[in-house]
Structure 1
Amino acid sequence: MSIFWFIPTHGDSRYLGTAKGSRNLDLKYLQQIATAADSLGYEGVLIPTGRSCEDPWVVASALLPVTQRLKFLVAVRPGLHQPALAARMAATFDRLSGGRLLVNLVTGGSEEELAGDGLFLNHAQRYQESEEFIRIWREILTRSHTGEPYDYDGQYLSVKGARLLYPPLQKPYPPVFFGGSSEAAHHLAAEQVDTYLTWGEPPAAVAEKLADVREKAQRRGRTLRYGIRLHVIVRETEEAAWQAADELISHVSEQTAAVAHAAFARMDSVGQQRMAALHKGRQGKTRKDLEISPNLWAGVGLVRGGAGTALVGSAEQVAERIKEYAALGIEDFVLSGYPHLEESYRFAELVFPLLPPSLHKGLQGQHDFSIGEVVANLYTPKVAQS
């Protein structure tokens, strides 16, 4: 199991849907989150992409010098990046980071946003272009280890004599992550990527999606890793966790939620449609209204696009839900929580010790977190064993 955290380049706050409690998003704050994730033992961090975000490659490069082992999951964007240039960027970052790059293939889910970036393709066309993009990208990087040029003539993308002189450190290329809920997305995942990501849906729905991608991959003689993207709200008690969930959306007005829901409805992303269907734009803001599965809460999705669900509960409950997803075949957990700095510590301190060592052997400090303050200048507190 690998546990990832999140770099909130679209903003951070104590409350959703309001300027109240918002954080000043500058380099020092992003570096605080990255160094916290690095020291706490998270496998890596996801850096988001899109119109509302700072550029992920610039941010990742700025965080590289202040971290030691943290991996960076950074987006490539078919239609916005050219595959040869994206391959060069990936190889450079991978070498300079000592092999700490992971690549997130993002097709985009809003025709309106993509039009603003100069991309005018419908849903089906974007997936066809993405298939050509990642095929070219992979081949250029793979052949860079032997110096072979690459030719490709596709419907949307073509290269002739593409060659990368400086190969990536990871062979044959940095691992590719990809998420999507449509049939086209499942086909692309099965054929081209290394890790398929799903947003946080109830376990039965996740199992169904994984089974479909797994079957498609097996038909192609391929085996994938699987991951899930979730928010987390964990506290010492279940009651405190649900209180924190209610507080997180306590300033969301009906007007703000309605505007967000209307915007989500205009997107052609199947994954976004599935997220919106979980809360159905409901204005109710209680556990009863928005708990869609044990400890799985759809409140974040009232105003946030993309991943809209959170695991809410005590440390023991959240750890149990994680193990349930792991039993389905999920290996990579990409998590976040508001505010992201404090919640990175809270999750690591409360939940990491409850995960079986065999499931998180890569995490630092499995059972020996800080001993705490020395008592009476003499006695050191004992570390509880899980």
Structure 2
Amino acid sequence: MTVRFVEDTPPDPIRFAYWVPNVSGGLVISKIPQRTSWDADYNRRLAQIAEESGFDYALTQIRFTAGYGAEYQHESVAFSHALLAATSRLKVIAALLPGPWHPTLAAKQIATISQLSGGRIAVNIVSGWFSGEFRAIGEPWLDHDERYRRSEEFIRSLRGIWTQDNFTFRGNFYRYTDYTLKPKPADPLPEIFQGGSSRAARDMAARVSDWYFTNGNTPENIRAQVDDIRAKAAENGNRPRIGVNAFVIARDTEEEAQAVLQEIIENADPDAVKAFGHEVKNAGKASPEGEGNWARSSFNDLVQYNDGFKTNLIGTPDQIAERILALKDAGADLALLAFLHFQEEVAYFGTHIIPRVRALEAAREKRAEAA
């Protein structure tokens, strides 16, 4: 079996993505008022604003059960298609969860959406961290590393179905014999994203993924992850690109931005934050090395689902632009962003921060050419 790997070097400008609020409660476990909605009309308009503002990707979430303030959830693949229909350039990344999804169904769904959208659909393979959700929907809960072994077979199956006729595969979780899918996805082939910080997650990214999402962190810690993944990926002929989670609070002064952060934390739902922390830390402890994405996360960190406060995109537009360049220097190819009030803050980010980032990139390139 042949596996397609990404060999092209990533484009120079850092890219931007946003978390789609297709579940209720926003992107913080806080009772602070948020001018963000999970409904379809709000999200269609948000996708259009993001596209107009210079964002490259939108990432839909997958949830099956209520919890941590997310009482309502739209299904990710169908919702992704709705956002694609409302836009013309934006790529949408649909979250897929092996177990509830079988690669055959996922491959066919995504191939069809790819054809309908001109190749603007991508997928995020979520290996799973919430055991209660799997049990609630009657899905077996596998051991930590088994979940990643299944996800890797899922990715290899998707790629084989999308690129080969008479696809044959023999794995521990999925098996195919002379299977042909037509039509296959439009060009370009859907990009495959994944997340996770465990050894199993990073090794899977090194072998088979196009993109690797890491939780929010400092540039120094991100650099360590990037170096680790890319050293292993080079052995496999792969070069996964890196996306970093961040929660953005952009205000006229740093004091105003920090005040908003404190208001979010002061209004946190303590029971929900602790319950979320209990689940995610247990998931990490189940890995052989006993650590996962949230192993070193404090209560304040956990108020934002993906450690987004740690990345520190909190301050003035100039400060945030400089910090984004520091993330890029650490090896990040994409910033995956969340906001308190999505529509207006995505627009503000596009007006006041992306141009500053591009100006800094251009100035750096000019200096390099002159050297």
TM-score of the two chains, using structure 1 as the length reference: 0.81
Aligned 1:260-279 pairs, distance under 5 A = 260-268=276-284, 273-275=292-294, 277-279=296-298
Q: Once the 2 structures are TM-superposed, how far is the Cα of residue 324 of structure 1 from its aligned partner?
A: 0.6
1:160 to 154, 172, 177: 177
Instruction: Tell whether 2:236 aligns with 1:220.
Output: yes
Q: CA RMSD in A?
A: 2.3
User: Which residue in the other structure is 1:126 paired with?
Assistant: 147
Correspondence for 2:24 among 4, 8, 11: 11
Instruction: Say which one has the larger Rg.
Output: 1
Partner of 1:293: none
Amino acid at match of 1:43: D
Asked if residue 245 in structure 1 is aligned to residue 261 in structure 2, the reply is: yes
| 1:205 and 2:221 aligned | yes
Q: What is the match of residue 67 of structure 1?
A: 87
Report if the CA contact (8 A) 1:3-1:43 is conserved: yes
Q: In the alignment, which of 146, 163, 166 is matched to residue 149 of structure 1?
A: 166
Alignment CA distance shift 1:322-1:124 (3 Å): same
Partners in 2 of 1:80 and 1:15 — Cα distance?
26
**Aligned with residue 41 of structure 1, among 50, 54, 57:** 54
For the residue of structure 2 that corresponds to 1:247, the secondary structure is helix
Aligned residue for 2:103?
Answer: 83
Residues 217 and 307 in structure 2, CA contact (< 8 A), matched pair in contact too: no
- 179-188 vs 351-360, which moves further: 351-360
Report the alpha carbon displacement of residue 119 of structure 1 after superposing the two structures with TM.
2.9
What amino acid sits opposite 1:349 in the alignment?
T
SS of the residue aligned with 1:185? helix
Instruction: Tell me which of 319, 340, 361 is aligned to 1:338.
Output: 340
Equivalent residues of 2:27, 2:304 under 8 A apart? no
Corresponding residue for residue 374 of structure 1: none
> In structure 2, how many angstroms separate the alpha carbons of the residues matched to 1:31 and 1:102?
18
| Identical columns (%) | 29
Once residues 24 and 175 of structure 1 are traced to their aligned partners in structure 2, the CA distance between those partners, rounded to angstroms, is 28
Q: Which position in structure 2 is the counterpart of 1:112? A: 132
Change (3 A) 1:258 1:106: closer
Q: Is the 8 A contact 1:275 1:308 kept in 2?
A: no
3-state secondary structure, aligned to 1:120: coil
Secondary structure of 2:55 counterpart = coil
Cα distance 1:209–1:141, how it changes in 2: closer, same or farther (>3 A)? same
Question: SS of 1:196's equivalent?
Answer: strand
The amino acid across from 2:199 in the alignment is: E
**Quick one: distance in 2 between partners of 1:268 and 1:13?**
24
Name the structure, 1 or 2, with higher relative contact order (CA <8 Å, separation 6+): 2
Q: Distance in 1 between matches of 2:47 and 2:296?
A: 33
The equivalent position to 1:186 in structure 2, one of 199, 202, 206, is: 202
Tell me how far apart the structure 2 counterparts of residues 250 and 71 of structure 1 sit (CA, whole Å).
35
Partner SS, residue 249 of structure 1: helix
Checking the alignment, whether the CA contact within 8 Å between 1:12 and 1:340 is kept in structure 2 is: no
Q: 1:222 to 1:150 in 2, by over 3 A?
A: same
Instruction: Give me the whole-angstrom Cα distance separating, in 2, the residues matched to 1:261 and 1:15.
Output: 13
Q: Larger deviation: 254-263 or 124-133?
A: 254-263
Shift of 1:24: 4.7
Whether the 8 Å CA contact 2:83–2:92 is kept in 1: the answer is no
Deviations 1:290-315 (A, max 9, x none): xxxxxxxxx4x333433442521111
Give SS of 2:48's match. helix
**So what's the TM-score if we normalise by structure 2?**
0.84
Query: Within the alignment, does 1:169 sit opposite 2:186 as a pair?
Result: yes
Q: Compared with structure 1, are the counterparts of its residues 42 and 134 closer, same or farther at alpha carbon in structure 2 (3 Å cutoff)?
A: same
Distance 2:302 2:237 in 1: 40
Distance in 2 (CA, whole Å) between partners of 1:221 and 1:274 is 26
Query: Per the alignment, in what secondary structure is the counterpart of residue 277 of structure 1?
Result: coil
The 3 A distance-change label for structure 1 pair 84 and 354 is same
Looking at structure 2, the residues matched to 157 and 15 of structure 1 have their Cα atoms a distance apart, in angstroms, of 36
- Gapped runs of 5+ residues in structure 2? 1-13, 67-72, 363-371
